[in-house]
């Protein structure tokens, strides 16, 4: 998506000349002749860079820069322009956060170079902020296993399109890393990648954090708007409350959002990738998630495999994370011999990749020998839930040789038959006992071949 440039200058000739030059270079250019017009232009679309004249009739550029800085920070890189500025004004502009200072008459070559560098600096800052304090899988996922090979082929196809994607999988499966890989492999890779974790945002501030605000002359861009031109990643989207689900569904349908306190909508252009460790379809049936939002997000479903489904990748993952922590944390690199690899291949990994990362980091911190020993691994696994401490699952009547889907259906049929008997054949009581809405329960019973009439009651 082309970068947006806002040119603020009271001289019509300069505005038109700069607009023409920048437009020829492929930028989307808006202009404003005063501070008031610049404020209004910011309300319409979030610029990627601002060219701001210092001397204007209603309010000087330095004062406008200070106003933006004091009201939540600058919207983007700001390049100051002046025909007769002083060293003092340049110093003041820099202190207030201006990216650079160019003199009039403008050198168009220098102006274009400054705009290009400002945009590149802004892009790098966004990437650094997104990666800071995070430990992610490599953007090119480890693909030793057939499961991951198939997943990567699917992701390569999805990266070429702009459809919404819903990634589902157990906790700890690095769904955000998959979303980042899709973003970096897409045509939107030059745009921002913005992560929204609804569960980490205070409920009373969630609407403003997501949708921004436009109140008392101050515009704050929300996380959704900050993703314009790039990708919005909604982590654990089920944590959105009912009001935010409604607002998000409306924004995605209209491709525009309304900031808190604002009368008008602003356009958004982004790709949405959502993720959840919970079954969103079941949440829809239970009335905990909006059906329209579910279908907007689930245009293309993607399943993040558990580590148990890709045990062939474990040796390569061990090497990768050992190398990563050795370089990042300056820890001694340690080898994982075949015996240790085999032990870890046979572990259940309830915490998936997150647990494996933590295990590798712990072994590098606590161990001294060049190789990791079985004893160290057993001790480390003993500090976390392991298969040795878990009871053998008991499920009478279940054939454990069946594929997962058929085994699940077998269990659901046995479970519902038992509960229906406990409810005396009453579907109404059964719905309350199992926590399902009656219409969905009837459908489930029909799918499983259970006839409520055969038990004597249906009410």
pLDDT of residue 443: 76
CA distance 354 to 113: 43
- Report which of 360, 348, 336 is spatially closest to residue 391, judged by C-alpha positions: 348
Report strand pairing: 231-234 vs 193-196: parallel
* Tokens found for residue 63: 């004062």
pLDDT of residue 402: 59
Task: For residue 420, count CB atoms less than 10 angstroms from its CB and return exposed for 0-12, middle for 13-18, buried for 19 or more.
Answer: buried
* Helix (H) or strand (E) segment spanning residue 258: strand 256-258
pTM of this prediction exceeds 0.85:
no
CA distance 18 to 95: 26
Ordered structural domains, the chain, with CATH: 4-127 (3.40.50.2300), 161-303 (3.40.50.300), 307-382 (1.10.8.60), 404-455 (1.10.10.60)
pLDDT of residue 16: 92
CA distance 175 to 253: 25
pLDDT of residue 385: 41
* Tokens found for residue 192: 């921002």
pLDDT of residue 85: 62
Q: What is the dihedral of CA 182, 188, 189, 191, to 10 degrees?
A: -130
**Residue-by-residue pLDDT tens, the chain, 459 positions:** 688 999 999 999 999 999 999 999 999 999 999 988 988 888 777 888 999 998 888 888 889 888 888 776 676 899 998 876 667 777 888 888 888 888 888 888 889 999 999 888 877 776 655 554 344 444 445 678 899 999 999 999 999 999 999 999 999 999 999 999 999 899 998 888 999 999 888 888 899 999 999 887 778 889 999 899 999 999 999 999 999 999 999 999 999 999 998 888 999 999 999 999 999 999 999 999 999 999 999 999 999 999 999 999 999 999 999 998 898 888 999 999 999 999 999 999 999 999 999 999 999 999 889 999 999 999 998 844 434 333 334 445 555 555 666 667 777 788 788 888 877 788 878 877 877 777 777 778 877 778 776 655 555
């Amino acid at each position: 998506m082309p970068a947006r440039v806002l040119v603020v200058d009271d001289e019509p000739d300069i505005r038109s000349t700069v607009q023409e030059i920048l437009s020829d270079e492929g930028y989307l250019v808006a202009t404003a002749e005063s501070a008031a017009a610049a404020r209004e232009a910011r309300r319409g679309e979030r610029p990627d860079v601002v060219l701001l004249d210092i001397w204007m009739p209603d309010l000087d550029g330095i004062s406008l820069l200070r106003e933006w800085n004091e009201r939540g920070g600058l919207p983007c890189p700001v390049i100051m322009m002046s025909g007769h500025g002083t060293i003092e004004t340049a110093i003041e502009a820099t202190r207030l956060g201006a990216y650079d200072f160019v003199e009039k008459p403008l050198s168009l070559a220098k102006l274009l170079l400054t705009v290009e560098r400002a945009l590149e600096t802004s892009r790098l800052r966004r990437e650094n902020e997104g990666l800071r304090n995070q430990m992610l899988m490599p953007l090119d996922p480890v693909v030793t296993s057939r499961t991951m090979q198939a997943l990567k082929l699917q992701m390569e196809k999805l990266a070429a399109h702009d459809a919404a994607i819903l990634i589902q999988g157990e906790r700890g499966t690095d769904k955000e890393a998959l979303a980042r890989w899709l973003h970096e492999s897409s045509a939107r890779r030059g745009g921002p990648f913005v992560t929204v974790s609804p569960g980490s945002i205070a409920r009373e501030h969630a609407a403003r954090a997501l949708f921004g605000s436009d109140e008392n002359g101050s515009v704050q861009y929300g996380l959704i708007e900050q993703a314009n031109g790039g990708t919005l990643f909604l982590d654990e989207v089920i944590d959105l409350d009912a009001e935010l689900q409604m607002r998000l569904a409306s924004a995605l349908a209209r491709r525009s959002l309304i900031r808190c306190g604002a009368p008008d909508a602003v356009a958004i252009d982004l790709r949405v990738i959502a993720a959840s460790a919970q079954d969103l379809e079941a949440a829809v049936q239970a009335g905990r998630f909006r059906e329209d939002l579910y279908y907007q997000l689930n245009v293309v479903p993607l399943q993040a495999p558990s580590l148990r489904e890709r045990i062939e990748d474990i040796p390569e993952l061990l090497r990768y994370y050992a190398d990563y922590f050795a370089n990042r944390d300056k820890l001694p690199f340690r080898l994982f011999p075949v015996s240790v690899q085999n032990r870890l291949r046979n572990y259940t990994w309830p915490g998936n990749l997150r647990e494996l990362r933590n295990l590798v980091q712990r072994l590098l911190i606590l161990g001294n020998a060049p190789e990791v020993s079985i004893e160290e691994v057993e001790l480390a696994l003993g500090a976390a839930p392991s298969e040795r401490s878990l009871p053998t699952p008991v499920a009478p009547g279940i054939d454990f040789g069946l594929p997962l889907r058929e085994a699940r259906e077998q269990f659901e049929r046995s479970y519902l038959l038992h509960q229906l008997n406990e409810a005396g054949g009453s579907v109404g009581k059964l719905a309350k006992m199992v926590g399902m809405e009656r219409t969905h329960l009837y459908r489930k019973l029909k799918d499983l071949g259970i006839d409520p009439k055969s038990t004597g009651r249906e009410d």
